[in-house]
Amino acid sequence: MAKKEIKAALIYSFATKKTSTAAKLIKDNLKELTLKEIDAESINANDLEAFDLLIVGAATWFDGELPTFWDEQIPALEDINLKGKRVALFGIGNQVDYPEHFGDSIGLLADVFTSTGAAIIGPTSTEGYTFEDSKSVKNNQFVGLMLDFENQHNLNESRIKSWCNQIKKEV
């Protein structure tokens, strides 16, 4: 697939530590794509319609919530049209301290993006994680990539690498 064919964006909060770290690794693993980086804290929802692929990252906060800046964007995101577009999600959570809401954020975002007509790509297996419940598990798998910096830091690189390969295949 030629590089110029796909307009892709990588969206995450530039102010975060762990989410930003993950975003950088993802970018390194997706050199084939030209990724426009967008700060989630200052998105203009309508601008997103111009992309074919959105790679969106968010940590889970406050027992199963999106970070505040993401939460504020939802009403705007709901009203854009992403029919025919694809969204790949990467989430950050802590399965030991928050097993009841492990990585809920990308499950919440998946609902929002699905409601705009987008297709969610890049689901991953829940194998290798120990938790009780997660809004990000749909059809027995995570809706996207799930990372746990606090408890499985050493698995981040391999998880990111294989997920990126999967994304490349899917697009």
CA nearest to 66, candidates 135, 150, 10: 135
| Interacting residue with ligand FMN among 29, 73, 94, 116 (CB under 6 A) | 94
Residue 62 as a binder of other proteins (CB under 8 A): the answer is: yes
Task: Output 75 or 128, the one with its CB closest to other proteins.
Answer: 75
Which one of the spans 23-31, 82-90, 107-115, 146-154 is the region binding other proteins (CB under 8 A)?
Answer: 107-115
Residue 100 as a binder of other proteins (CB under 8 A): the answer is: yes
* Whole-number CA gyration radius for the chain: 15
| Interacting residue with other proteins among 20, 21, 36, 114 (CB under 8 A) | 114
Which one of the spans 10-18, 39-47, 68-76, 107-115 is the region binding ligand FMN (CB under 6 A)?
Answer: 10-18
Residue 49 as a binder of other proteins (CB under 8 A): the answer is: no
Contact criterion met (CB below 8 Å) for 16 and 59? yes
Where in 133-152 is the site for ligand FMN (CB under 6 A)? 149-150
Question: With contacts defined by CB under 8 A, how many residues of the chain interact with other proteins?
Answer: 20
